[in-house]
Structure 1
Amino acid sequence: MNVYRTRAGLFHQFRDVLQFYYPAMIDTVVGGYAAQVDERDGYVYDARTRHLVAAARGVHNFSLGVLENGPDWCRYAAEHGLQFLSSVHWDDEREGYDWQLDCREPTDRTRYCYGHAFVLLAGARAHEAGIPGGRAELERAFDVLEERFYETEHGLYADRATPDWDSLSPYRGQNANMHACEALLAAYEATDEERFLERAYTVADRFTREVTSATDGLLWEHYTEEWEPDLAYNEDQPAHQFRPPGYQPGHHAEWAKLLALLADHRSEGWLLERARELFDAAVDFGWDDEHGGLYYTVQDDGEPIVADKYGWVHIEAIGASALLSRFDDAYAEWYDRLWAYSREHLINPKYGNWYARLTRAHERDGPNRGPAVEPGYHPLTNCWLAMRALEDEPPAFGTS
């Protein structure tokens, strides 16, 4: 039996990831989180850089620890990170969150929707966990997203702005909108206020049904100002770490997860139908039949562009399959298959944290320290969601 069909097995993995990052990333001198932790041996390899996304994800992660009755230090760790996020990352003069700092000094003040979405997520989870200041951060981040990034005529968010908000980039992206949708759902769950659910539904509907009609229902990553697919974007940089060309199986699975979560709060039948379509697409064109695992990026026929295996891709697919398996046992089979692959290749046997990236044949081609924005957010989130799925008394998930 798959041990991750049990709450005990999932909580063990959840706790292992939390303990990998605590106390290593807690910085009591500079403040905030030194989130650049070597994924193999657990030491901080960069104690100076402070990244907005890492800060927000850390608050989110430790807040989940509080919600799941994890170790007592989770509350302190969440409060510690939220204080730095709300005071040092926040630019009071320009009213936005600074993207990157050297210790406490800003080095990049570009205003990214992606970063502000993660602050909204952090505030929502902190508020839900009873962390002081969580609700205030939720409201502040939401206000910036609505006033500076949301484009009513498209029902979607712009991507980035200059530090003084003088101009928006013409680039429009899938990823910022996906994480905005995630954060809005969390804000709804934390407050029970319909405005957050309505906005999350609008973004999901607009992107996963309307925008994707131009690419036969598949999720392209990069768009023009008018939300037309920019199929040539970064085509000369196929291995770009954050904005590669091609289709990403991991984001298809991640959107499937979000639509399944939305379906828990909305009655529209298309949500689960589209969630199934997106998950099926992820595994149909993304699964590597020779070596196992999901490719990072592919062409629309499933031919890999970057065949590397990323940890976040597989744990997102695990979260999606856990939610979908409540309705169809075929997804429970994928849940087991993805966990078996991940245990063999992607989870550090020494600490239980997840590796960021391996080659197609599961080798390392460098130090593999992982991106500076990833302090365990993907595995913690999806273990937590799978534990919630077990509580729902589903017809399929949790059976042998």
Structure 2
Amino acid sequence: MNVYRTREGLRHAFRDVLNFYHPDCIDTRFGGYVTQFDERDGYVYDARSKHLVATARAINNFSLGVLADGPEWCRTAAEHGLRFLSTAHWDPENEGYDWLLEGREPTDRTRFCYGHAFALLAGARAHQAGIPGGRDEIDRAFSVLEERFFEPEHGLYADRASSDWMDLSPYRGANANMHTLEALLAAGEATGEGRFLDRAYTIAERFTRELAAETDGLLWEHYTDTWQHDLSHNEDEPDHQFRPPGYQPGHHAEWAKLLCLLAEHREEAWLLTRASELFDAAVELGWDEEYGGLYYTVEESGEPIVDEKYGWAQAEAIGASALLARHDPTYLEWYDRLWSYSTERLIDPRHGNWYERLTREGELPEPDHGPEVEPGYHPITNCWLAMEVLEDDPMALGADG
């Protein structure tokens, strides 16, 4: 029996990732978090860089620790991070979140929708966990997203702007909208306000039905400023770190997860149907039958473009398969297969943290020692979702947890 079909097993994996970062992640000099830990040996390689997304994701993690009845230090850690987000990252003059800081000094003030979405997620999870100031952050982040990024004529969000909001990039992307959808779902659940869920539904329908209809049901990542598919985007940079060409199996699984969550609040039958279709596409196109794991990017045929295996993609597919299994137990086969690959290859047996990426064959490449880290957000979030599935139905994953 897969131990991760039980609460005990999931809580163990959940706690291991939190413990990898805490208490060394608490920055008592500048405030906020230190998140740049070497994934193999655990040492801090950069104690000064403060990335907006890393700050927000760590708040999410510790807030989920509170919601999962974790150690008391989860509450203290979440409060610590939320204070930093609302002061150091927030630019009161231009009313936006700064992207990158050195200590407390801004070094990149580009306004990314992606970053503001994570600020909304952080506020939502903090509010849900009863952290003071969470509700204020929800209102502030949502206001910026609506006033600066949302394009009513398209029903979607723009990608990025200059620090003074005068210049809006012509690039439009799926990733920013996907994470805005995630944050809106969290805000709706935390506040009980339908406006967040209504906006989430709009994004879901535009992307996974209307835009996907133009690419045979698959989800393209890159668009023009009029939301036309930009099929040649970065075609000369197949290994681009953040905007590679091709289809991403991990994102198909992540969208499937979000549709399952949205279906808990809406009655439209297409949500679960599309969730199943997108997950099925993720594993049919992206699963490596020889070495295991989901490829990073693939052609429409399933031929890999970048054959590396990213930890976040496997974690998102675990969360999606757990949610889908509530409606169709056959998805437990994928739940088990994904956990098997992750425990054998991706999870450090010494520290319990997840490696960022592996080669196709499952070897560790040289680590990326940049500020754009995801301090355990994907495994923590998806372990928590699987625990929530068991909370609703102790037998949902096929074991009495």
Which TM-score tier does this pair reach, normalised by the shorter chain? over 0.9
Once residues 39 and 398 of structure 1 are traced to their aligned partners in structure 2, the CA distance between those partners, rounded to angstroms, is 32
Letter in 1 for 2:140: R
Contact 2:51 2:371 in 1 (8 A): no
Cα offset for 1:218? 0.4
Between 1:185-194 and 1:370-379, the stretch displaced more is: 370-379
What's 1:387 paired with? 387
Letter in 2 for 1:295: Y
In the alignment, structure 2 segments of 5+ residues that lack a partner are: none
Once residues 40 and 213 of structure 2 are traced to their aligned partners in structure 1, the CA distance between those partners, rounded to angstroms, is 42
What's 1:247 paired with? 247
| SS in structure 1 of the partner of residue 107 of structure 2 | strand
Number of matched residues?
Answer: 400
| SS in structure 1 of the partner of residue 115 of structure 2 | helix
Contact 1:174 1:221 in 2 (8 A): yes
What's 2:372 paired with? 372
Once residues 286 and 176 of structure 1 are traced to their aligned partners in structure 2, the CA distance between those partners, rounded to angstroms, is 22
Contact 1:52 1:99 in 2 (8 A): yes
- Mapped pair 1:321 → 2:289: no
Cα offset for 1:364? 2.0
Cα offset for 1:396? 4.8
Cα offset for 1:399? 4.2
The normalised TM-score by structure 2 is 0.98
Deviations 1:101-138 (A, max 9, x none): 11111110000000000000000000011111100001
Once residues 264 and 41 of structure 1 are traced to their aligned partners in structure 2, the CA distance between those partners, rounded to angstroms, is 40
- Mapped pair 1:71 → 2:71: yes
- Mapped pair 1:50 → 2:50: yes
Q: How does 1:153-192 map to 2 (within 5 A)?
A: 153-192=153-192
Once residues 168 and 84 of structure 2 are traced to their aligned partners in structure 1, the CA distance between those partners, rounded to angstroms, is 27
What's 2:360 paired with? 360
What's 1:214 paired with? 214
Deviations 1:215-241 (A, max 9, x none): 111011000011111011111111111
Once residues 23 and 290 of structure 2 are traced to their aligned partners in structure 1, the CA distance between those partners, rounded to angstroms, is 40
Once residues 264 and 395 of structure 1 are traced to their aligned partners in structure 2, the CA distance between those partners, rounded to angstroms, is 18
What's 1:151 paired with? 151
- Mapped pair 1:300 → 2:300: yes
Structure 1 runs of 4+ with >4 Å offset: 368-371
The normalised TM-score by structure 1 is 0.98
In the alignment, structure 1 segments of 5+ residues that lack a partner are: none
What's 1:99 paired with? 99
What's 2:234 paired with? 234
Once residues 395 and 30 of structure 1 are traced to their aligned partners in structure 2, the CA distance between those partners, rounded to angstroms, is 46
Letter in 1 for 2:357: R
Once residues 255 and 281 of structure 1 are traced to their aligned partners in structure 2, the CA distance between those partners, rounded to angstroms, is 11
Once residues 366 and 174 of structure 2 are traced to their aligned partners in structure 1, the CA distance between those partners, rounded to angstroms, is 29
What's 2:134 paired with? 134
Contact 2:49 2:371 in 1 (8 A): no
Once residues 40 and 371 of structure 1 are traced to their aligned partners in structure 2, the CA distance between those partners, rounded to angstroms, is 16
What's 1:37 paired with? 37
Contact 1:39 1:370 in 2 (8 A): no
- RMSD, matched Cα: 1.1
Cα offset for 1:167? 2.0
Cα offset for 1:34? 1.1
What's 2:116 paired with? 116
What's 2:205 paired with? 205
| SS in structure 1 of the partner of residue 63 of structure 2 | helix
